[in-house]
Each structure stands twice: as C-alpha cells, then as structure tokens.
Amino acid sequence: MFIQKSYKENSYLVFNHPVSGKRTKITTKKLEKILFEYFTTRPEESNLNLERFKKEVVSYAKTNFSKNNASLYLHSMEKLIQVFGNLSIDQITAKHFETYKEKRLEEVKPTSVNIELRCLKAIFNLGVKWEYLGKNPAKDVKQFSIPQTEPSVLTSSDISRINSFLPPQIQDIVSFAFLTGCRISEILNLQIQDIDLKNLILVIRNTKTFKTKSGKIRRIPISGKLEELLRRIIFPENNILSLPESYLFSNRNGQIYDRNFISRHFKKALRAGGYDEKFHFHSLRHSFVTNLVKSGVNLNYIKLLAGHADIKTTEGYIHLHLEDLREAVNRL
C-alpha cells in the first residue's frame, strides 16, 4: 500500500484489494469521503463496560469513602453485573433498574433493595460527573415504599438486662454505644489517643485504616456516666496505662474486633433476654438519638452529636409515642 501522485496533481492510494487480490487505486479525495461517512454515520459505542466501570468506581470509593461504603459500592456493582452481564454503561436504561428491583426482590428484602438502588444512583452520578454518560438512567427510578414500623428504642434498664447475657468486654462496648450513639465501626476503631479525659472530649476521626461515614471529624462531649466507663477501661485495677495508639476495645491479642462478632453476640443476648427480632446493634444508636429527642434536645445539636450529614436524617429518628401525645393533649 502506497500513495501515488499523477501528472494531473491527483493523488491515489494504491493497494491490493482484500477480496480479489488485484492491485486497486482510489483517489485520496474519494478516500477522505469514505472515511468521513464511516466515522460520522456509524453508531456510537461505549468502550466502558460495567466491569471496567466497576473497577473505577471501587477505586474511587476506597479513596474517598469509608471501608463499609466502599464495600457497598462493590456489592451493588457486582449484583448489577450478575443480573445483566457485562453491558456497556451507555446501554443501561431506567427499565434495566426496574428489572433489577424485581430480580433482587426475589433474594433480599425491599429495604436491602432500596439501599442497593440508592448506591447505584450515586454510582451512575459518578458516570455523569466523569462524562461517561449524559444523564443518570437511575435518577427517576422509585424505591420500594416501606411500611412504618414501631421504633426499636432501648432504655438504660434494657441495657442492664442485655448486658447480663454478655461477657464483660462486650458489655462495655454495648454501654459505650448506648451512651454515645456511635456507629459500631467508629467504636471498634477508637484509640486511647482519641479520648481526652482532661477536657472530657471524645474524637471520632479518620485514620489510615478507617474513614468516618461522612469523612469528617466529630467531637462528642463525655458525659459523667461515659467518663466513669472510660476511666475503668483505660485505668484498670492494675493501673497499667494503655498505649495511645491502642484500641479502646480489642481482643486478647490487642487486635480490633470483627464487627460481625460483636453483632452476633449482641443479637444472641437480645434473644436470651426475650427481645423482639427487630432489635439489633444499630438500635443502640437509634436509641441514643431518640432518647435525646424525647428529652427536648435541639435537633441541630443532635445532628452534630450523631454525625448526620443532613438534618433530614436526624428528623427521621423522631418517633412520637402514645404517652408523648397524651402529654400534649393534656396541656389543652
């Protein structure tokens, strides 16, 4: 294949025809026309399939989000690929997400499907942000409507009863969660250096191995009951002070507890105490926020204490009980 220039100042592309094998030539002007029509009329195709998109998304999530959120991003993408295969991302439509909802509902509860769907909406927003997509196909896909249930709130007497079925170390974790409203991942990653007993401040911060859900540092005032608990943990009877980088709660080897290990023990204690199956470890955080609301604490203060990114999340913890309503009408 070569370019040949004629005496009339026309240029030709000379090549062997792929079918006949004969030497063929066409003018470079005709070649320009053929190439122009090819590249302007062929359908656009995306080189980015779901598998490649997943890798980019997971890499981004690991850098910018907590370990749990990054795991959720990976899980949601894997389930999407499991349902539809390795499609190009620009082939995904709103109808695909409706089908996804139906398929996943065969395996998990509506609440779990909603969590995955919210995650996928955020993932495809990244696709728009990175200019892989013109719009988010999941944007207007509706979540399942979840019927309202009775709030799962625990009291201090409940905590005493539940702790009676738990070993001492896990009792302390449960009490700490009830007094601070911290998430289980925040509790298990807390180090001695994050506790300022002089100024009575607890710091929930990011480390090399842990990121807070919002990515922000949170400071929580230490109450009298919490101070008592912390001093007993940090300054045991043998008066040996733990190293600053030591975890507040750790196993015999000084390693961080597995969150599922704690959750299983707590659930076992709940069942032993005859509590409803709706209760779980996160109910301790729910109870902290709800009890503050019932005590009349300003919602903006509660938002800061709980580490909510949006006040609407805090408002979602508000539950009016019959006795609250009775007190209200008796004021008339």
Q: Chain-wide mean pLDDT for the chain?
A: 85
Query: What are the residue boundaries of the structural domains of the chain, listed by start?
Result: 2-41, 50-129, 156-326
Which two tokens mark 111? 């609440």
Judge whether residue 42 has pLDDT over 50.
Answer: no
Dihedral of alpha carbons 107, 109, 112, 114, sign: positive
Q: What is the mean pLDDT of residues 33-51?
A: 62
Q: What is the mean pLDDT of residues 275-279?
A: 91
Distance CA 156, CA 8 (A): 99
Lowest average pLDDT, out of 19-23, 236-240, 280-284, goes to 236-240
Q: What is the mean pLDDT of residues 185-211?
A: 92
pTM above 0.85, yes or no: no
Which of 285, 175, 164 is closest to 229 using CA atoms?
175
pLDDT band at 297 (very low <50, low <70, confident <90, very high): confident
Q: What is the mean pLDDT of residues 127-148?
A: 91
Distance CA 40, CA 185 (A): 53
Characterize 228-256 residue by residue with b for buried, 16 or more Cβ atoms within 10 angstroms of its Cβ, and e for exposed. ebbeebeeeeeeeebeeeebbbeeeeeeb
Q: What is the mean pLDDT of residues 252-267?
A: 91
Distance CA 177, CA 286 (A): 10
Q: Quote the percentage of the chain above a pLDDT of 70.
A: 82
Lowest average pLDDT, out of 11-15, 117-121, 179-183, 207-211, goes to 11-15
Digit-coded pLDDT (tens) for 72-115: 999 999 999 999 999 999 999 999 999 999 999 999 999 999 99
Judge whether residue 46 has pLDDT over 60.
Answer: no
Give the list of residues 6+ apart from residue 138 with CB closer than 8 angstroms, or none: 94, 97, 117, 120, 121, 124
Distance CA 267, CA 281 (A): 7
**What CATH number has the domain spanning 156-326?**
1.10.443.10
In the prediction, which pLDDT does 293 show? 84
Digit-coded pLDDT (tens) for 231-258: 998 876 554 556 788 899 988 888 899 9
Side chain identity, residue 92:
I
Dihedral of alpha carbons 142, 144, 146, 147, sign: positive
